[in-house]
Amino acid sequence: MNFSTYKKRILIVDDDPTSLKILESMLPAERYDVVKANDGKEALESAFEKPPDLILLDIMMPGIDGFEVTRKIKRDKRTKDVPVIIITSLDGSESRIKGLEGGAEELLSKPVHATELLARVSSMLRLKEYRDQLTIRTLSGERFGVISEPKEEIQIKEEELPQILLVEDAEVDAIVVEKALDGEPFQLSKVYNGKQAFSFVSQKKTDLILLDIILPDMDGFEICRRLKKDYKDIQVVIVTCLDDLESKIKGVELGADDFLVKPIVGRELKARVKTLMEKKFHLDSLRTHYQEALGRSQLDWLTGLYNHGYFQQFLGYELKRSLEQGFPVSLIMIDVDDFKSYNDNLGHSAGDAILREMGQVVRNSIREVDFAARYGGEEFAVVLPYVHRENAIIVAERIHKTLTSHDFFHDESIEMKNPTVSMGIAVFPEEASNKTDLIVQADSMLYRAKQNGKNQYQISEPRIYSHLDH
């Protein structure tokens, strides 16, 4: 298994060889490892033997059809978290609803456009990463000694339910949506134009927007573009009577998470909303996981990052998962250069403030699925799942650039320069066979960075290192 050239594994299932070739050609070989199956039985065998990151699944196949394959995939603990995109030539909403209600996360109609396919694939792969990371962080917390007490069932207050915003100026269409979602565990609010939509999301946390394309003040495409720029985590579903391919592609390119064509079918709407809400829930849970650990033994009291003990537990589980699923994990160790001089000249309170800000800058410089911890003293650790050597260097350079441009001293009377950092990078399993060796390797690279003049990163052979202050 070549971890240095890790690619997401996508299983394509179709009994038509031409369709298999077309779908495979749309997925860049440098990014994805494509595995093919010609029928449902072969698909299940392949998925259970080595679970993929994503499944693209045709509905109409001999023997076991796509609906049954989806149900079996979602019932098996080995594959239940693998997203399924059903691809079908069947017309009619009933087949679409059946696929979504059977557990598929997404559905595309043939002929598939490459732009739309790649957007959906990217979205579903992120969902898989969110699911995996949330699971392993929860497991790490439990094994670290933080056991969640079983919660009594309580009635959730209406104001705490997920918020859906309907942007629709046609009263008849609004009524259809309201009836479809009536009784569902959501808050549903309604506005009539783009201006009202932006006013709403600026004042109230919004999870999902059902957005009509044709509105009185601005079109839905422009609203979608602006929403995804300023509120990228809100799930946006474009709802329109336009059924042409160009409109759908334009919506996808602007960042829309889904697309519904009028007349809306209630069951399909509910199924799609459920999937998108799950995606939003996982993203929110992952981003706020550290907040739930406040006051527990998982967090470092000063920086708000995970502490040394939790880091050790998490890294062990992540490396085990790395070997099982075949992806690399990079580790960056970061140490503040000459930190003692800041404590000596400015006092320990100022030193603490530097560490606190530095921890938050590092955390804000990485992805949601990455993991930042205070390793000890003025040293930090960043775990990068799915990241090989070249991308680890890119992340190290991004962290350095962000730290360099950050103003740590808000008092102009302080004459000391902003702190710099040295970093050591190590990659598993390329450079280490276990957790201890990986940490030792990253620390040795950090030591080399210090010896070579500080304010730089180091990574082992092939010798790729850089002074980052030129």
- Give me the pLDDT at residue 70, please: 92
- Per DSSP, the residues of 193-219 read SHHHHHHHHHHS--SEEEEES--SSS-
Sheet holding 208-212, edge to edge: 187-191, 163-167, 208-212, 235-240, 258-261
Element (H, E) at 267: helix 266-287
Q: Say yes or no: do domains 3-143 and 158-287 share a fold.
A: yes
pLDDT at 18 over 70: yes
Contact 82, 43 (CB under 8 A): no
Which tens digits make up the pLDDT trace of 68-117? Answer: 999 999 999 999 989 999 888 766 567 667 777 778 888 888 888 888 88
- Give me the pLDDT at residue 449, please: 95
Contact 424, 375 (CB under 8 A): no
- Give me the pLDDT at residue 294, please: 45
- Give me the pLDDT at residue 301, please: 84
Q: Quick one: average pLDDT of 456-466?
A: 69
Q: Residue 289: name the closest of 130, 98, 411 by CA.
A: 130
- Give me the pLDDT at residue 5, please: 67
User: Is there a catalytic annotation at residue 378?
Assistant: yes
Which tens digits make up the pLDDT trace of 221-249? Answer: 999 999 988 888 898 988 887 666 677 77
How far apart (Å, rounded) are the C-alpha atoms in residues 32 and 5?
10
Contact 417, 352 (CB under 8 A): no
Which tens digits make up the pLDDT trace of 278-311? Answer: 778 877 776 665 455 444 567 888 888 889 988 9
pLDDT at 266 over 90: no
**What are the phi and psi torsion angles at 33 (to 5°)?**
-100, 105
Q: How many residues does the chain have?
A: 470
Strand locations in 140-286 (E): 163-167, 187-191, 208-212, 235-240, 258-261
- Give me the pLDDT at residue 63, please: 87
Structure tokens at 449: 């960075």
Contact 265, 97 (CB under 8 A): yes
Q: Which DSSP state fits 3?
A: G
Question: β-strands 235-240, 208-212: how paired?
Answer: parallel
Write down the mean pLDDT value for the chain: 85
Contact 426, 460 (CB under 8 A): yes
How far apart (Å, rounded) are the C-alpha atoms in residues 246 and 84?
25
Which tens digits make up the pLDDT trace of 140-181? Answer: 766 555 444 434 443 446 667 889 999 999 898 899 899 989
Which sequence spans correspond to the domains of the chain? 3-143, 158-287, 291-467
- Give the type of residue at 244: D
How far apart (Å, rounded) are the C-alpha atoms in residues 328 and 361?
25
How far apart (Å, rounded) are the C-alpha atoms in residues 463 and 452?
13
3-143 CATH, one of 3.40.190.10, 3.30.1490.100, 3.30.70.260, 3.40.50.2300:
3.40.50.2300
Q: Which DSSP state fits 4?
A: G
- Give me the pLDDT at residue 258, please: 81
- Give me the pLDDT at residue 44, please: 96
Which tens digits make up the pLDDT trace of 192-218? Answer: 999 999 999 999 999 999 999 889 998
Element (H, E) at 183: none
- Give me the pLDDT at residue 189, please: 94
Q: Which residue has the higher pLDDT, 2 or 216?
A: 216
- Give the type of residue at 148: S
- Give me the pLDDT at residue 274, please: 83
**Max Cα-Cα span within the chain:** 77
Topology annotation, domain 158-287: Rossmann fold (3.40.50)
Contact 359, 380 (CB under 8 A): yes
- Give me the pLDDT at residue 3, please: 60
How far apart (Å, rounded) are the C-alpha atoms in residues 412 and 234?
39
Q: Which one of the listed residues 105, 106, 268, 378 is annotated catalytic?
A: 378
pLDDT at 331 over 60: yes
Sign, Cα dihedral of 91, 97, 99, 105: positive
How far apart (Å, rounded) are the C-alpha atoms in residues 190 and 178?
9
Q: Quick one: average pLDDT of 249-260?
A: 79
- Give 46's contacts (C-beta < 8 A, 6+ positions apart): 11, 35, 37, 52
In angstroms and rounded to an integer, the radius of gyration of the C-alpha atoms of the chain is 25
How far apart (Å, rounded) are the C-alpha atoms in residues 62 and 38?
9
Element (H, E) at 140: helix 114-143
How far apart (Å, rounded) are the C-alpha atoms in residues 410 and 350?
11
Q: Quick one: average pLDDT of 400-427?
A: 84
End-to-end CA distance of the chain: 38
- Give the type of residue at 37: A
Confidence of residue 345 (pLDDT cuts 50, 70, 90): confident
Q: Residue 236: name the closest of 247, 223, 248, 246 by CA.
A: 223
Structure tokens at 181: 């979602």
Element (H, E) at 398: helix 389-405
Q: Quick one: average pLDDT of 344-360?
A: 89
Helix (H, G, I), strand (E, B) or coil at 294: coil
- Give me the pLDDT at residue 119, please: 81
Structure tokens at 88: 């079908």
Q: Which CATH class is domain 291-467?
A: alpha beta
How far apart (Å, rounded) are the C-alpha atoms in residues 419 and 409?
10
**What are the phi and psi torsion angles at 189 (to 5°)?**
-115, 160
- Give me the pLDDT at residue 272, please: 80
Q: Residue 414: name the closest of 347, 338, 336, 335 by CA.
A: 347
